[in-house]
Amino acid sequence: MAFLRTAAFAAAAAACAAPTSAQDGSGWPNGDVTYILHVEPGGATDVLARQLSSGMQQELGVNVVVENRPGGSGARQMAQLLRARPDGQTIGSVTASHLGMFEQTGQFDIDSVEWACNVILDPYLLAVRDDSDIESLEDLVAKAQENPGNLSIAGFGQNSGGQVAWMIFREAAGLEDGTVNWIPYDSVGDAVVATLGNHSEVVIAYPGLVRQHVEAGTLRVLGVMADERLDMLPNAPTYAEAGYDVNTNWQQFRGIIMPSETPIEIQDAVCDAVETIMQTPAMEQYIADAELVPGFMPPEEFRSFVDAQNELSTSWTQ
Amino acid sequence: MIAHLAESLGYVFTLNVLLGIAAGIAVGYVVGAMPGLTSSIGMALLIPFTFSMDPIAAIAMLVTIYMAADFAGAIPAILVNAPGQPAAAVTAFDGFVMTQRGEAGKALSISLVCSLIGAFISTILLMVSAQAMASAALVFGPAEYFALAAVGLSLIAVLSTGSALKSLVGLVFGLTVVTIGIDPISGASRYLFHWSLIDGIPFLPALIGLFAVSEVFLMIEQGRKAMPEAISTRREASFRNVWPFRRTILRSSFIGYAVGVIPGAGATIASLISYGVAKKLSPTGDSFGRGNPEGIAASEAANNAAVSGALAPLLALGVPGSASAAVLIGGLTIHGLQPGPMLFANDPTVPYSIIIALMVGLPFMVIVGFIGIPLWVRMIRVPRPVVATVVISIAMLGAYASANSSFEMIVTAVFGVIGYLLRKADIHPAPIVLALVLGYMLEANLRRALIAGNDSFFAILSKPIAAGLLFLTLLVLISPLLARRRKA
């Protein structure tokens, strides 16, 4: 681990020598920005980040260099990000999966970074194959109670955001643990495919992953875990409309984090840039094409949102 | 279909698109020939450059990288036992032995021609069967994936050259390695000494270590011995040369396409299965693994065919059949095209342009290979210490580049030592690769199938495809015993 120590020393030394001028955010960006991602190139989070970075390049007139540090469910990206100076020149991507990683590794926690801003907010939804005899959330509950252990629900991973969303519904519906088998897949996309192939009766997913299948008439959405119907899926009822009142704050988020102790002024400067970019026609078009749900939140709002998410997550997974 | 094809032809034969294809071939050959840089990395790196290109040119460039990388992956595998793409590890089984015999030119030529045939046949198959095959891919659920992985692992009975016990040691070693990390089903940590192991041992760096780095150790050991005299640097890239293997090539192309269609199976599994089948069916099967050109034919036809195969579920359902196909989804999304069940209905020219771009690119990929062979063969005339230095540098660079992290370099180094020791003990890498590729698929899907079936194995056997595949597994496993009895 000698190399890690050397790197830490180098970073510490560099931090001491750093000029303290750009504390009020007016000096940002002070040169090229590095944007460290916790995912491999090519996925939804990566493409979103690359769109954002090209927008930032145009908006700010500096290079925004995207670096992929996949692995360790985000732990390796965190390690890299925390070695950087807290001056806004290094930012990172974050999704709900980081919260699960904190718990699994015990290496980092919610206070290890600054939660600068949120970009995308995807609600969860429950869907079935179009030829399923489950017509509504009520049918789903009735069928599960009738024959416990006979139904299975596909979703991403264990103790994941999707599983927590399912547990929230299960409690609201009064379903006992074990009445529906939770099948953890490697990604939400895999879970959708397994349900299309009839290997699971129900899937918990995001709007963007099912919209085309709904249009093609192969999947049907039973309920969306949101307060209002989505423009993308106007015929899909919310949980409340379907008769199940749940806390809809639990959503999949994609945002931006920064090294701990990055001044709030710099966080604000970064987030102002992000907010402007999200309102450009090109970015709006991309978000619509990629079937994402925009959900910008500035620093303080994002932090309290994440605190609430974290509380929900630990209360459900422990 | 014909109308859309004709319309797409017009889109592809424009200067922009043809330049995109040319760039794709150049980049594909470079990332393909660099161990550690896969086609998915190459494609992802170029995605930002496609922002300003027109959609068809951008996508043509990306799919060409995907195919060209698979052409090139065999080159370092054959020359220095360092697979440029994971699937080329199978090509190295025979290809590198041929190089050691001084037949590098012949091995490279056979690889090139078989890659071409595999790619051509599968692209035709993609054109006529994308939608039908994609629906067939949905039939594969946890039970079927488990059974498919079991068939793959049973190939150890066929693949092993020499001692069955030693093959078993390799297999168990590989299966143990894949259990490291967070358990995919329950989330428990297994052999997690440090958090950097949370995702387990990364496959690609381990593969580079097992093949390339262990080879470097052997080179150092034999430092003073002369390199094999290349008997011929002449290219022998002709259809006549591969004519004796026509059945194997044809069969491997179909196997490669079919395995490629199954999401998550991919080119490496396609190569391994087609290699195992060819070995079983070939009259010269006994010499597979000892420099039999038919082994190269089986591997290369299959892994190039798997590329088109992986595009079928992508274009027809929006389901990526491989990591590279997943990157392609990213590339399409940027241009406002969302691959999915509506793509053939809403933008039919996109899938057909991809198919035509692949076809247009093929001859140029062959030309690059054809011109390159004499140059590449010359590489092995370089003094051994120089080759060893270059190979280990590229291996370490590739390991680093696969995830931008020095952790991967440590994995490569450790597996280099392990690979060297295993080779000293005369344990072939084939069973280890088999286990590394299939171990996760076997475990995760068995456990998913058991959860869905309330812990009953009969739930798996009650699915016809899974039951059929498991029966096949049993047949493959007992076939060497039966053959021995017949001989006795």
ipTM rounded to 2 decimals: 0.82
The tokens describing B119, both together, are 């790619």
CA geometry: angle B175, B449, B471, nearest 5 deg: 70
Q: Average pLDDT for residues B224-253, to the nearest whole number?
A: 75
The tokens describing A298, both together, are 């500035």
Inter-chain touch A72–B196, beta carbons under 8 Å: yes
Separation of alpha carbons B457 and B434, rounded Å: 24
Inter-chain touch B320–A189, beta carbons under 8 Å: yes
Q: Grade residue B233 by pLDDT with cuts at 50, 70 and 90.
A: low
Q: Return the residue in B41, B138, B140, B455 with the most chain A beta carbons within 10 A, the one to mutate for interface testing.
A: B138
pLDDT above 90 for B254? yes
Chain mean pLDDT for chain B:
87
Q: Which of A44, A181, A215 sits opposite B451 (nearest CB)?
A: A181
Phi/psi for B332 (5° steps) reads -70, -40
Name residues whose C-beta falls within 8 Å of residue A261's C-beta, 6 or more positions apart in sequence. Answer: A86, A114
The tokens describing A122, both together, are 């995807």
| 8 Å CB contact between A175 and A141 | yes
Chain mean pLDDT for chain A:
86
Chain B's closest residue to A47, CA to CA, is: B330
| 8 Å CB contact between B74 and B108 | yes
Q: Chain B, 73-132: which have a CB under 8 Å from a chain A CB? A: none
Q: Grade residue B188 by pLDDT with cuts at 50, 70 and 90.
A: confident
CA distance A314 to chain B (A): 15
- Least confident window among A45-54, A166-175, A260-269, A301-310: A45-54
Phi/psi for B200 (5° steps) reads 85, -175
Residue A71 neighbours by CB distance under 10 Å: 24
Inter-chain touch A194–B142, beta carbons under 8 Å: yes
Give percent of chain B with pLDDT exceeding 90.
40
Concatenated DSSP letters of A44-66: HHHHHHHHHHHHHHHHHSS-EEE
Question: Could you tell me which residues are beta bridge partners of residue A219?
Answer: A129
Separation of alpha carbons B56 and B380, rounded Å: 40
Helix (H), strand (E) at residue A34: strand A33-37
At residue A14, what is the residue type?
A
Name residues whose C-beta falls within 8 Å of residue A76's C-beta, 6 or more positions apart in sequence. Answer: A38, A69, A70, B196, B403, B405, B407
Inter-chain touch B405–A159, beta carbons under 8 Å: no
Instruction: Please give the biggest Cα pair distance in chain A.
Output: 68
Inter-chain touch A71–B403, beta carbons under 8 Å: yes
Residue identified by tokens 């303290």 is A20
Q: How far is CA B7 from the centre of its chain?
A: 33
Inter-chain touch B141–A47, beta carbons under 8 Å: no
Which of helix, strand or coil describes residue B338? coil
pLDDT at residue A15 in the model: 42
Q: Return the residue in B404, B450, B462 with the most chain A beta carbons within 10 A, the one to mutate for interface testing.
A: B404
Helix (H), strand (E) at residue A151: strand A151-156
B138–A contact, CB cutoff 8 A: yes
pLDDT above 60 for B447? yes
CA distance A212 to chain B (A): 6
Inter-chain touch A212–B340, beta carbons under 8 Å: yes
Residues of chain A in contact with residue B326, where contact means CB-CB under 8 angstroms, are: 42-43
Q: Chain B, 197-216: which have a CB under 8 Å from a chain A CB? A: 198-199, 202
pLDDT above 90 for B302? yes
pLDDT above 80 for B104? yes
pLDDT digits (tens, 9 = 90+) for A278-318: 999 989 988 888 888 889 999 999 999 999 998 888 887 76
pLDDT at residue B134 in the model: 77
Question: Could you tell me which residues are beta bridge partners of residue A220?
Answer: A128
The tokens describing B159, both together, are 């693949």
The DSSP 8-state label assigned to residue A238 in this structure reads B
Residue identified by tokens 């690059």 is B368
Inter-chain touch B138–A196, beta carbons under 8 Å: yes
Q: Which of B138, B318, B334 sits opposite A212 (nearest CB)?
A: B318
pLDDT at residue A24 in the model: 64
Inter-chain touch B330–A71, beta carbons under 8 Å: no
pLDDT at residue B301 in the model: 96
pLDDT at residue A118 in the model: 96
- Least confident window among A116-125, B92-101, B310-319: B310-319
At residue B138, what is the residue type?
L
pLDDT at residue B237 in the model: 63
Q: Which of B205, B216, B260 has its CA nearest to residue B396? A: B205
Pairing of the two strands A151-156 and A113-122: unpaired
The domain spans of chain B are 2-487
CA distance B127 to chain A (A): 21
Starting at the edge strand that comes first in sequence, how are the strands of the sheet with A125-129 ordered? A180-185, A151-156, A202-205, A125-129, A219-224
The tokens describing B11, both together, are 């889109």
Q: Grade residue B298 by pLDDT with cuts at 50, 70 and 90.
A: very high
Separation of alpha carbons B311 and B262, rounded Å: 10
The tokens describing A143, both together, are 């069928």
Q: Which of A47, A193, A291 sits opposite B334 (nearest CB)?
A: A47
Inter-chain touch B195–A50, beta carbons under 8 Å: no
pLDDT at residue A69 in the model: 84
Inter-chain touch A42–B342, beta carbons under 8 Å: no
pLDDT at residue B40 in the model: 83
Concatenated DSSP letters of B218-269: HHHHTTTSPPPPPS--S----HHHHGGGHHHHHHHHHHHHHHHHSTTTHHHH
Chain B's closest residue to A4, CA to CA, is: B406
CA geometry: angle B425, B480, B281, nearest 5 deg: 100
CA distance B176 to chain A (A): 19
Pairing of the two strands A202-205 and A151-156: parallel
Residues of chain B in contact with residue A47, where contact means CB-CB under 8 angstroms, are: 47, 330, 333-334
Q: Average pLDDT for residues A77-99, to the nearest whole number?
A: 90
Q: Grade residue A18 by pLDDT with cuts at 50, 70 and 90.
A: very low
Inter-chain touch A216–B342, beta carbons under 8 Å: yes
Q: Cis ω on the peptide bond leading into residue A29 (within 30° of 0)?
A: yes
Inter-chain touch A186–B184, beta carbons under 8 Å: yes
Question: Could you tell me which residues are beta bridge partners of residue A221?
Answer: A127
At residue A113, what is the residue type?
V
pLDDT above 50 for B244? yes
Separation of alpha carbons B37 and B46, rounded Å: 13
Q: What is the CA radius of gyration of chain A?
A: 21
Which of helix, strand or coil describes residue A204? strand
Residues of chain A in contact with residue B330, where contact means CB-CB under 8 angstroms, are: 41-44, 46-47
Chain A's closest residue to B440, CA to CA, is: A186
Helix (H), strand (E) at residue B136: helix B104-137
pLDDT at residue A1 in the model: 39
pLDDT digits (tens, 9 = 90+) for B358-401: 999 999 999 999 898 888 888 777 777 888 888 899 889 888 88
pLDDT at residue A21 in the model: 42
| 8 Å CB contact between B60 and B11 | no
The tokens describing B173, both together, are 């070693």
Q: How many CA atoms lie within 13 A of B132 on its CB side?
A: 6
Phi/psi for A122 (5° steps) reads -105, 125
Chain B's closest residue to A42, CA to CA, is: B327
| 8 Å CB contact between B336 and A289 | yes
Name residues whose C-beta falls within 8 Å of residue B371's C-beta, 6 or more positions apart in sequence. Answer: none
Q: Average pLDDT for residues A164-178, to the nearest whole number?
A: 91
Phi/psi for A221 (5° steps) reads -90, 125
pLDDT at residue A4 in the model: 42
Q: Which of B248, B237, B152 has its CA nearest to residue B442? A: B152
Residues of chain B in contact with residue A70, where contact means CB-CB under 8 angstroms, are: 403
The tokens describing A165, both together, are 């969303």
What domains lie within chain A, and their CATH numbers? 32-122+251-317 (3.40.190.150), 126-224 (3.40.190.10)
Separation of alpha carbons A141 and A310, rounded Å: 28
Inter-chain touch B342–A215, beta carbons under 8 Å: yes
Q: Which of A71, A184, A285 sits opposite B199 (nearest CB)?
A: A71
Q: Grade residue B466 by pLDDT with cuts at 50, 70 and 90.
A: very high
Query: Does A4 or A236 have the greater pLDDT score?
Result: A236
Q: Average pLDDT for residues A235-264, to the nearest whole number?
A: 93
pLDDT above 50 for A5? no
Helix (H), strand (E) at residue B413: helix B406-424
Chain A's closest residue to B406, CA to CA, is: A3
Q: Which of A109, A67, A128 has its CA nearest to residue B400? A: A67
Residue identified by tokens 């360092």 is B82
pLDDT above 70 for A6? no
| 8 Å CB contact between B213 and B395 | yes
Q: Cα separations (Å) of B331 from A41, A47, A64, B326, B353?
A: 11, 8, 19, 9, 15
| 8 Å CB contact between A317 and A164 | yes
pLDDT at residue B34 in the model: 86
Q: How far is CA B331 from the centre of its chain?
A: 22
- Least confident window among A244-248, B72-76, B128-132, B268-272: B128-132
Residues of chain B in contact with residue A212, where contact means CB-CB under 8 angstroms, are: 318, 338, 340-342
pLDDT at residue A272 in the model: 93
Q: How far apart, in Å, do the first and last CA atoms of chain B sit?
A: 57
Q: Return the residue in B343, B405, B451 with the most chain A beta carbons within 10 A, the one to mutate for interface testing.
A: B405
Q: Which of A158, A189, A218 sits opposite B187 (nearest CB)?
A: A158
pLDDT digits (tens, 9 = 90+) for B2-23: 888 888 888 888 899 999 999 9
Q: Return the residue in B146, B182, B194, B407 with the most chain A beta carbons within 10 A, the one to mutate for interface testing.
A: B182
Q: Average pLDDT for residues A59-83, to the nearest whole number?
A: 86
Q: Average pLDDT for residues B436-461, to the nearest whole number?
A: 92
- Least confident window among A271-275, B299-303, B404-408: B404-408
Concatenated DSSP letters of B31-75: HHHSTT--HHHHHHHHGGGGGGS-HHHHHHHHHHHHHHHHHHTHH
Helix (H), strand (E) at residue A126: strand A125-129
Inter-chain touch A183–B448, beta carbons under 8 Å: yes
Q: Which of B73, B34, B298, B472 has its CA nearest to residue B289? A: B298
pLDDT at residue B227 in the model: 60
Burial class (CB in 10 A: 0-12, 13-18, 19+), A296: middle
pLDDT digits (tens, 9 = 90+) for A118-165: 999 989 999 999 999 999 999 999 999 998 989 999 998 887 888 989
Chain B's closest residue to A148, CA to CA, is: B454
